[in-house]
Amino acid sequence: MAIEIERKFLVKGDRWRSLATGILYRQGYIATQKGTTVRIRLVGEQGYITIKGKSVGISRAEYEYPIPAEDAQEMLDNLCEHPLIEKTRYKIKLAGLIWEIDEFAGENQGLIIAEVEITDENQNVELPEWIEREVSDDPRYFNVNLAKHPFQQWSQEERESNE
């Protein structure tokens, strides 16, 4: 079984921008129930289908497979719930880890999240200076939930909670 162990953080400032170039991601969700999700993603010109299990702490089962870009585009247009998640992803290698910084567009414009996959939930992670705070345990920042309740629709109170 493939297990994903991931920590999420809000990003501050722009110092990270000079460290990588980004690629456009478009993704949507076909099914979400009882903590299981089926995601369709188009990364540049490559399509993917991903099945993720229910999160337990910061871990969950994850299975991802490439699919033709044309199929991914049709599923995004016709099968996925809208709005879609649109973002530019930047990958930065630091201290032996790969940080993925997602700068959201569309309905989630204004949100920038950094994610880092680790091999053990207790693994020590050296935080870069551009990390604001951790949101790994805050389900509002899960992409599946950002598709259902986009950042642009959050009240000022929602945006300020947990600061």
- Segment 8-34, tens digit of pLDDT: 999 999 999 999 999 999 999 997 788
* 83 preceded by a cis bond (ω within 30 of 0): yes
Residues 6+ apart with CB under 8 A from 97: 116, 117, 118, 125
Q: Judge whether 90 counts as a catalytic residue.
A: no
Helix (H), strand (E) at residue 132 = strand 131-134
Active-site hit among 29, 48, 90, 141? 29
pLDDT at position 1, please?
63
Q: Please, which residues bridge with residue 25 across strands?
A: 43, 87
pLDDT at position 163, please?
56
What rounded mean pLDDT belongs to the chain?
93
Domains of the chain and any CATH numbers: 3-160 (2.40.320.10)
Indicate the pLDDT class of residue 147, thresholds 50, 70 and 90. Answer: very high
Portion of the chain with pLDDT greater than 90, in percent: 87
pLDDT at position 65, please?
97
pTM exceeds 0.85 for this model:
yes
Q: What average pLDDT does the segment 79-86 reach?
A: 95
